[in-house]
């Protein structure tokens, strides 16, 4: 296997609860400096998944909402978790404006909804998940990992690669 090729996985979810549980499993193995970027149309389940991640990371769920309006929220859990939503942003300057790069360079884990809104938002080594709506409750998760750290995260989350 080419060490530089992205690691990809495909998962499915048949309910909002299942999506939350997938997120929770990821949150349980999240470590400082991990980066998780989410994309998918309105209502795909990015926030449902993110709430699961937060719960798995030991963040009280009452603290977690969609940060669409605040852009980024920081939660204290087993790991510090920065939860961003870039839906309303479009340029790298917007990211500087909210202190995004300081967070990226810090020790917290990052969970970023609508990450593809701003190309500079995603570090080279990132776990990216695109949620595709495949039916009223069906979702397909297209997972890719582009570096050593994110590949290790996928292995902790889903087990060793079969491919």
Ligand X SMILES: Nc1ncnc2c1ncn2[C@@H]1O[C@H](COP(=O)(O)OP(=O)(O)OP(=O)(O)O)[C@@H](O)[C@H]1O
Interaction of residue 128 with ligand X, rule CB under 6 A: no
Question: Under the criterion CB under 5 A, does residue 117 sit at the interface with Mg ion?
Answer: no
Structure tokens at 67: 């940060």
What size, in residues, is the chain?
A: 163
For residues 38 and 27, what is the distance between their CA atoms, to the nearest angstrom? 14
Site string for Mg ion, 35-64 (x = CB under 5 A): -----------xx-----------------
Question: Binding mask 61-100 vs ligand X (x if CB under 6 A, - otherwise)?
Answer: -----x----------------------------------
CA neighbours within 13 Å on the CB side: how many for 148?
0
Instruction: Report how far apart the first and last C-alpha atoms of the chain are (Å, whole number).
Output: 9
Contacts with Mg ion: how many residues (CB under 5 A)? Answer: 3
- The partner in contact with residue 162, picked from Mg ion, ligand X, none with C-beta cut-offs of 5 to 8 angstroms by kind, is none
- Considering only residues 23, 27, 37, 45, which one is a binding residue for ligand X as defined by CB under 6 A? 45
8 A C-beta contact, residue 131 and residue 49: yes
């Amino acid at each position: 296997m080419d060490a530089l090729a992205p690691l990809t996985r495909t998962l499915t979810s048949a309910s909002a609860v299942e999506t939350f549980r997938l997120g929770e499993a990821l949150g349980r193995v999240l470590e400082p400096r991990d980066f998780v970027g989410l994309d998918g149309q309105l209502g795909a389940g990015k926030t449902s998944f993110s709430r699961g991640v937060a719960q798995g990371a030991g963040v009280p769920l009452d603290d977690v909402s969609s940060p669409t309006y605040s852009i980024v929220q920081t939660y204290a859990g087993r790991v510090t978790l920065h939860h961003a939503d870039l839906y309303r942003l479009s340029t790298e300057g917007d990211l500087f404006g909210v202190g995004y790069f300081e967070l990226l360079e810090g020790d917290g884990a990052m969970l970023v909804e609508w990450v593809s809104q701003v190309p500079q938002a995603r570090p080279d080594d990132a776990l990216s998940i695109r949620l595709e709506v495949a039916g009223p409750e069906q979702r397909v998760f297209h997972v890719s990992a582009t570096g050593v750290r994110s590949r290790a995260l996928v292995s902790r989350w889903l087990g060793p690669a079969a491919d």
